[in-house]
Amino acid sequence: MRNDFVKQTLLEMERNKNIIFLTGDLGYNALEPIQKTFPERFINVGIAEGNMLGLAAGLALSGKKVIAYSIASFLTMRPYEQIRSDICYDNLDVKLFGPGGGFNYPTHGHTHHTIEDVAIMNVLPNMKVVCPAYSWEAREATRTLIRHSGPTYMRLSKSPGVNYEKAGWKFELGKSYHIRNGKDVVLISTGNILDVVMATANLIEKKSGKKVGVISMPSLKPIDDKLIKHLAKTCSLICTLEEHSIIGGLGSIVSNILSQSQCASRLKVFGIPDRFIKDVGSRDYLLAKIGLEPKTLSAKIIRLLN
């Protein structure tokens, strides 16, 4: 997914000479093509995220479009006040791209587990929040966000092996994508946990015979509230799944919409429980530890369906 971001960014920087790229000393073995192609517009700010986002605000105020890059946890949490007060308050044209969303740096420990980013970015006025699931979404979202005017945040993770795009799809902010249809239960997911969600859907169908729909929602702010309201009237069970805290992410956003709608659906939120995950292991290991894996998820959802 990071390579999709880099490839699309190269195209955008070629197209728009006004783009400045800042990195907080990260991107080894990934950002070199941008550095080599646009050395005058690529700046390694150093390990100084607060300064990087302050600089980004200043560059944007003086007419530049700015891309700021660092590991997602450092990018969103360390300079949070700069993002809120310097960038979002004045709706400045700064784009945040953070690799390592969720448990994508699994054995790096708590400082690299990015499980609150959607919550803290979503709460900021003017901010747009996108979590692509796989290669197509990442590439298309990169283009859309860079061409958008105003602050944006995109969480980058590792793509699942499968690409799910269909002919004619076009990425838009606030749009969702039906990966598969099914009305007994609809699973809504955001980000690269989509592969777990697809495997879960297969298991539910196999074990219960129920028809399972899967929707990918890479755009969390704005979100496809029209579709969520429609599902609330037509589907008896909606499940949200995300590699993010159960507080403040996709589940909370959907819950908020449903609470203010005519709703015939039940909602079940699956995500990372409200505690720090101190276990050591791979992403799959950590997801299994907290029950975000197909066998556990499918069993829980089948129980809800019955």
Partner 1 sequence: MAQNKKLQGLATQVREHIIEMSYGSKSAEIGSSLCIADILITLYFAILDIDPKQPERPDRDHFVLSKGHGAAAMYATMALRGYFPETELKRYRVDGGRFHCHPCRSASRGIEVSTGSLGHGLPIAIGMALTMKSEWPNKKVFVLVGDGECNEGSIWEAAMFASSHKLSNVVVIIDDNKFQGFGATDKVHPVDLSAIWTAFGWNVLEVDGHDIVLLEKVLLKAKRRRDRPTVVIAHTISGKGIPHIENTLGAHYYTPDEITYLASQHA
Report the interface residues with partner 1, using CB under 8 A.
Answer: 23, 25-29, 31, 44, 46-48, 50-51, 73-74, 78, 107-112, 278-282, 285
Closest to partner 1 by CB, 28 or 170? 28
Task: Kindly state the smallest distance separating residue 209's Cβ from partner 1, in Å.
Answer: 34
Dist CA 54 CA 94 (whole Å): 11
Task: Kindly state the smallest distance separating residue 276's Cβ from partner 1, in Å.
Answer: 9
Q: Is 19 helix (H, G, I), strand (E, B) or coil?
A: strand
Closest to partner 1 by CB, 58 or 109? 109
Residues in Cβ contact with 52 at an 8 Å cutoff, skipping those fewer than 6 apart: 22, 23, 24, 45, 68, 70, 79
189, 162 contact by CB (below 8 A): no
Task: Kindly state the smallest distance separating residue 25's Cβ from partner 1, in Å.
Answer: 4
Closest to partner 1 by CB, 46 or 273? 46
Task: Kindly state the smallest distance separating residue 24's Cβ from partner 1, in Å.
Answer: 8
Residues in Cβ contact with 240 at an 8 Å cutoff, skipping those fewer than 6 apart: 187, 188, 189, 250, 251, 254, 267, 268, 269, 270, 271
> What does the longest C-alpha to C-alpha distance in the chain come to?
61
147, 90 contact by CB (below 8 A): no
Amino acid at 247: I
Q: In degrees rounded to 5, what are phi and psi of residue 98?
A: -125, 115
For 185-252, give the DSSP string.
EEEEEEGGGHHHHHHHHHHHHHHH---EEEEE--EEES--HHHHHHHHHH-SEEEEEEEEESSSSHHH
- Spell out where 14-169 has E strands: 19-23, 42-44, 65-69, 94-99, 128-130, 152-156
Task: Kindly state the smallest distance separating residue 81's Cβ from partner 1, in Å.
Answer: 12
Task: Kindly state the smallest distance separating residue 4's Cβ from partner 1, in Å.
Answer: 20
Closest to partner 1 by CB, 33 or 50? 50
Closest to partner 1 by CB, 170 or 275? 275
Task: Kindly state the smallest distance separating residue 26's Cβ from partner 1, in Å.
Answer: 5
Closest to partner 1 by CB, 77 or 302? 77
Closest to partner 1 by CB, 27 or 271? 27
Dist CA 50 CA 52 (whole Å): 5
Q: Integer distance in angstroms from the first to the last C-alpha of the chain?
A: 38
Closest to partner 1 by CB, 236 or 282? 282
Task: Kindly state the smallest distance separating residue 248's Cβ from partner 1, in Å.
Answer: 20
